[in-house]
Amino acid sequence: MDLHRRPPQTTTGAVATNPHSHRLKSRSPLPSPKASDALPLPLYLTNTIFFTLFFAVAYYLLHRWRDKIRSSTPLHVVNFTELAAIVSLIASFIYLLGFFGIDFVQSFATRASHDGWDLDDTVITTTTTTTTNQPLRKLTSPEPSLCSEEDNSIVNSVVEGTIPSYSLESQLGDCFRAAAIRREALQRTSGRSLEGLPLEGFDYEAILGQCCEMPVGYIQIPVGVAGPLLLDGFEYTVPMATTEGCLVASTNRGCKAIYVSGGAESVVLRDAMSRAPVVRFSTAKRASQLKFFLEDPLNSDTLAVVFNRSSRFARLLGIQCAMAGKNLYMRFTCSTGDAMGMNMVSKGVQNVLDFLRNDFPDMDVIGISGNYCSDKKPAAVNWIEGRGKSVVCEAIIKEDVVKKVLKTKVAALVELNMLKNLAGSAVAGTLGGFNAHASNIVSAIFIATGQDPAQNVESSHCITMMEAVNDGRDLHISVTMPSIEVGTVGGGTQLASQSACLNMLGVKGASKEEPGSNSRLLATIVAGAVLAGELSLMSAIASGQLVKSHMKYNRSCKDVTKISS
């Protein structure tokens, strides 16, 4: 696992043009030619013809050349049959190169099919009035136009409702084309332009059936890096996707303070995803019988076997029950390997519910989730029992670092933490919010690494503690986060950009050596970054620099020399 720091890689997103400012009349884009398009026959027949042709003419030419060598006839003297055989050999050879994926053949065929045609056939007709002295905008990629009659017909069908918008991908077999058609239909029905929402440059097949339905574009979110974060003896450069100025810079300062103080340490206390179905019986007594059955240690092995059938990584850890009258809430917790695990635990719960019907046929399953889980909502059960990864991260910040890097004093930080994060949050009646801005860092890392952003709600539960140590000279700071819900496989983690950010941290994909270790490491990195963010923001508040910092980093400035200073 490579944990060295790497320079960030940046990508330039596409900038869309106004689809109503001009019309492009050109031939519809042709699909990229394939080797199998050589004959209008089924693929297996085309392959058979060219394979047979190649070996037949090769055999024929070898025999002819052998006879010429024996009779001392020059090889360049050929008759019509030999010339046809040579042409056939070359043609079949080119087909075979394309069949086996030789890039230059495909690219040459593509250029030959399109170059010199698309530009000549394009006619631009201006439909809007332009004014003089209007600045030209720099366009990185124009918005694709739907110029074929077939595309326009499909757009009209979507607008009229005869073709459902959600079915375009399955009907067309082209995700990008479906997104472009849906986008144009949306613009026509709403009467509003989607200029500024990019479409080009995104792999729409990557999200099909996985991340997002009915796409019409994608949002550009800047990704910055903070670090190196020295955590448990390793350095990590932390990717943060955010539109908030000062956040990355502040977290970076916290990472520096932790680094020069010797680094931070972390501990994963618990790793358990939860799902809590709600069932109903005719009486509370009957519901209690199921509760006692589930909590009986003698039944735990049987229930675990049934639950664990859902996945080779799912392992049932426990069942906690709560009653409300004749309604029973069963909170299943299980380990889920390197996946965040919501789907995995839901499948296991369904297996157990089906099994329980044998002994409790009168059980009425109201819902696979009864909010006792609890997912994407602030809940005391997650704050107390934990959900996902429960992590504690701590560091001791030296006195001189507090003064020189953080520009404040240890006593000021301890006092501010007590009055703001602890007492102030208690006065506000917060739930799991005994911190300065843990949600800021959690959200930024979640978006960058392909996590579910909505799970920021419970994942940001955090209590920040500060205490003067070593005779009051140094600062001990810790963050306790009981429900960090992250994974390194599945969902948005498989998209190219998010996968690159996971790779930057050395936690991409599933761990083959120790299943679950990558997702646990990611959770500790999140906690470590929160520790850095808490340290820096609290220092800015204690020193009275918060407003000044935001005026510097959170306001537009075109002079890069002033920004860097």
Catalytic residue set: 244, 376, 452, 550
Contact 455, 249 (CB under 8 A): no
Instruction: Count CB neighbours of 372 within 10 A.
Output: 20
Q: How far apart are CA 145 and CA 143, in angstroms?
A: 6
Buried b (16+ CB within 10 A) or exposed e, 478-488: bbbbbbbbbbb
Instruction: Quote the strand ranges of 27-105, DSSP E.
Output: none
Q: Which of 360, 347, 339, 227 is nearest to 285 (CA)?
A: 360
Using CA of residue 273, residue 278, residue 283, residue 286, what is the dihedral sign?
Answer: negative
Beta partners for 323?
Answer: 328
47, 93, 167, 201 from 209: Cα distances, Å: 32, 39, 12, 19
- CA angle 418/422/426 to nearest 5° reads 140
- CA angle 558/562/564 to nearest 5° reads 105
Contact 17, 141 (CB under 8 A): no
Q: Which residue do the tokens 């530009």 mark?
A: 119
Contact 531, 267 (CB under 8 A): no
